Amino acid sequence: MKILFFGDVVGRSGRQALSRHVQDLKTSLNADVVVANGENSAGGLGINRKAVEEILNCGVDVITTGNHAFHWKEWKDVYENYPMVVFPANYPDMQDRSCYSVKGLTVINLQGRVFMDCIDNPFSSVKNVLRRLDKETIKLVDFHAEATSEKIAMGYFLDGRVDAVVGTHTHVQTADEKMLPNGTLYISDVGMTGPYDNSVLGMDKEAVIGKFLNNRPVRYELAKGRNIINGVFINISDSERSITRISFLEQGED
C-alpha cells in the first residue's frame, strides 16, 4: 500500500497547486491512495462543497479536517453529502464521521487539546474508534494538533496499533519522520499546501503582523506568490515500511 498525504490545503491557491501536482506525483510514486487535509481549503479557513469537489477532482480519495473545518456553515452540507470527508473523532457527536475506508486503507481523524479547543480526550476517543475497526485493515491517523508533545505521545500510544500517525495543523513541516519501535510510521507535522512567499501559515504576512502588533481583530487574506507543496509518501508492505517527506516550491510567474 502506497499512500500520498498532503498537509493543510490553504485556500484557492492551495487547491490549484494540488491540482497541478497530485496526478504527476501519484503516477511517479505509483500511489494507491491520496489523502489531503482540507480544514483551510475554503478561503483559507473552513471547508465547503466547492473546495471538496475541487480537491476530489485532483485525485484525492479522502479529506481530513480539524479545528477550522466548522468556520463556514457550509460544513454541514459537506458533513451530510461527502462521507470521504472526515472530522475529528473527539468532537462531540463526530465519532461516526471520523473515519473512512477506501482501497484497503482506513483514515482516522483526531484533534489535539493542548493550546486548542477543549474537546473530548483524543487518546480515549481513538481507543473507542479502533475498537470498532477491523484489526487487519491498514490504518492511518491524521492527528490535527498544535503541541509536538501531544503528537509524539499519540504516536507512541498508537505504535503497533495503527500503521501511520501523521500530524497536521501547524502548517510547518517537521523533519522528524521515523518508524516507531513497533512499526508505526510517524511525523509530527506534514506541513501545508498553499501560499508560501510573504506568508504566515498561508495568510498575507502584513495582516498577521498587524494582529500581533495591535491585538485587534483583522481580516486575513491569502498571501500571493509561490505555493509550497508539503506532503509525505508512505509505503507499507511486507518487505518495507517507510515514510518520506515531500516538500517543494512551485516556480513563480517570472
Q: Which is closer to Fe ion, CB of 39 or CB of 120?
A: 39
* Phi, psi angle pair for 235, to nearest 5°: -120, 120
Q: Which is closer to Fe ion, CB of 40 or CB of 90?
A: 40
Q: Is 68 a catalytic residue?
A: yes
The minimum distance between CB 68 and Fe ion, in angstroms, equals 5
Taking Cα atoms as reference points, which of 142, 164, 154 lies closest to residue 65?
142
Taking Cα atoms as reference points, which of 167, 111, 105 lies closest to residue 139?
105
From the candidates 68, 144, 169, 171, give the one annotated as an active-site residue. 68
The minimum distance between CB 134 and Fe ion, in angstroms, equals 29
For 7, 49, 80, 115, 190, the CA distances from 224, given in Å and listed in that order, are 19, 24, 33, 29, 22
Site for Fe ion, rule CB under 5 A: 8, 39-40, 66-67, 169
Taking Cα atoms as reference points, which of 191, 172, 143 lies closest to residue 7?
191
Are 10 and 40 in contact by the 8 Å Cβ rule? The answer is yes
Q: Which is closer to Fe ion, CB of 54 or CB of 146?
A: 146
The minimum distance between CB 179 and Fe ion, in angstroms, equals 26
Residues with catalytic annotation?
A: 68
